[in-house]
């Protein structure tokens, strides 16, 4: 049943109900969609791939992925002005999304676009797209990450073998690298 | 388009608070210094265009392909 805390919207997945508390405000919109300020993250299956859906325009639903689920060590540069816009503080939690390129009929060749990460202040629900001027490579094929997975796990296991390591390192190592690193603390210099 | 000629070291004001200085010219590269209000963002055109293009393409991606990709990844994820 619909109540005042929820809004029914039309999306790429058809009709969806969005809790008002989950609406993300984009003060500057998204690049190319500067007039749209309210979005929600929708998902149909449990996955790190989501749809960033405009609350106002059913056709504007960007296919995105949680960056740190796939590239836990990738650094996104956030300038001073952007920090202010996002109201980020030292310990603010952020979610970083990147758009996906999915070749028609070839979902296995999906890649992440790293030039325009979308940073969200998780607690305050403020979002901002922050173009990065010198990201190399600009795209990462997901299959290339799967090939690196064994190496990734080998590293995690190595860390686990050292019981003397600091608690924080251990915690990090024990984390499922792809599943649980989606939210992390933003470091502000 | 307004066209002006400036030498290295010379500058322009756009309105009261945007100051553009030509710092140096070396071969095909021009080094430009910008002083802009703190809330103003400056992007290199090619970066801005690429992001705009990728945003638009991610809308046009086929929803079925997306669902397939999402499921594919879900099975890869433990």
Tell me the per-residue pLDDT of A125-153, one tens digit each, with 9 for 90 and over: 999 999 998 888 888 888 877 655 555 55
- Dist. CA A173–CA A167, nearest whole Å: 10
**A131: chain B residues, CB-CB within 8 Å:** 43, 47-48, 50-51
**Complete DSSP assignment for B13-31:** EETTTEEEEEEEEETTEEE
What predicted TM-score, i.e. pTM, was given to this entire model?
0.77
Looking up tokens 């749209």, which residue turns up?
Answer: A36
What phi and psi, each to the nearest 5 degrees, are found at residue A16? -135, 150
Q: CB-based contact (8 Å) between B75 and chain A?
A: no
In 3D space, the residue among A59, A137, A46, A55 whose CA is nearest the CA of residue A98 turns out to be A137
In 3D space, the residue among B17, B77, B49, B1 whose CA is nearest the CA of residue A115 turns out to be B49
Which of A49, A131, A142 has the CB atom closest to B48's CB atom?
Answer: A131
Inter-CA distances, B71 with A43, A63, A114, A124, B65, Å: 11, 14, 22, 30, 10
Q: What is the pLDDT of residue A38?
A: 96
ipTM for the predicted complex comes to: 0.79
Q: What is the pLDDT of residue A147?
A: 59
The mean pLDDT value of chain A amounts to: 79
Q: In this model, does residue A182 exceed pLDDT 70?
A: no
Looking up tokens 């952007």, which residue turns up?
Answer: A82
């Amino acid at each position: 049943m619909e109540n005042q805390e929820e809004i029914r919207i039309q999306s790429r997945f058809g009709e969806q109900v969005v809790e008002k508390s989950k609406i993300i405000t984009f003060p500057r919109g998204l690049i190319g969609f500067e007039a749209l300020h309210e979005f929600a993250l929708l998902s149909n299956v449990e996955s790190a791939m989501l749809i960033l859906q405009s609350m106002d325009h059913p056709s504007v639903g960007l296919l995105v992925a949680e960056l740190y689920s796939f590239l836990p060590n990738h650094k996104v540069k956030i300038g001073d002005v952007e920090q202010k816009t996002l109201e980020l503080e030292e310990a603010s939690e952020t979610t970083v999304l990147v758009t996906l390129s999915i070749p028609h009929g070839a979902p296995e060749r999906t890649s992440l676009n790293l030039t325009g990460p979308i940073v969200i202040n998780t607690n305050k629900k403020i979002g901002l797209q922050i173009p990065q001027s010198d990201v190399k490579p600009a795209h990462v094929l997901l299959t290339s990450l799967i090939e690196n997975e064994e190496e990734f796990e080998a590293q995690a296991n190595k860390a686990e073998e050292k019981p003397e390591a600091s608690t924080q390192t251990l915690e990090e190592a024990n984390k499922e690298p792809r599943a649980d690193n989606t939210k992390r603390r933003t470091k502000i210099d | 388009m307004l066209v002006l000629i400036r030498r290295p070291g010379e500058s322009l004001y756009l309105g009261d608070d945007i100051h553009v200085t030509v710092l140096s010219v070396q071969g095909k590269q021009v080094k430009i210094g910008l002083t802009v209000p703190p809330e103003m963002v400056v992007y290199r055109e090619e970066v801005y265009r690429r992001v705009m293009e990728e945003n638009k393409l991610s809308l046009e991606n086929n929803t079925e392909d997306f669902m397939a990709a999402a499921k594919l990844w879900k099975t890869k994820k433990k």
